[in-house]
Amino acid sequence: MLKQAMRFSFMYFVIMSLVQYFLDKEMRWIENLTIGFIVFILMSFINWCRVPYNWDKKN
């Protein structure tokens, strides 16, 4: 789960950096890192929500 979120956020960072480099000739590092971190947090949260809660646990 965590590995998938890291991979996806890293791919976002690399792709957006390359697109900005080739199209604008200027890379916005802080913006790319911040959005990559937000993507990581959101993907981690979504993956965490997919795991069902076991309501039949015995205390």
Q: What are the C-alpha distances in Å from 31 to residues 34, 41, 52, 54?
A: 5, 15, 34, 39
Q: What pTM, to 2 d.p., does this model score?
A: 0.75
Query: What proportion of the chain, given as a percentage, has pLDDT over 70?
Result: 97
Decide: helix, strand or coil at residue 25.
coil
**pLDDT tens, 9-25?**
899 889 999 999 899 88
Q: What's the distance, CA 39 to chain centroid?
A: 3
Is the pLDDT at 55 greater than 80? The verdict is: no
- 21 vs 53, residue with greater confidence: 21
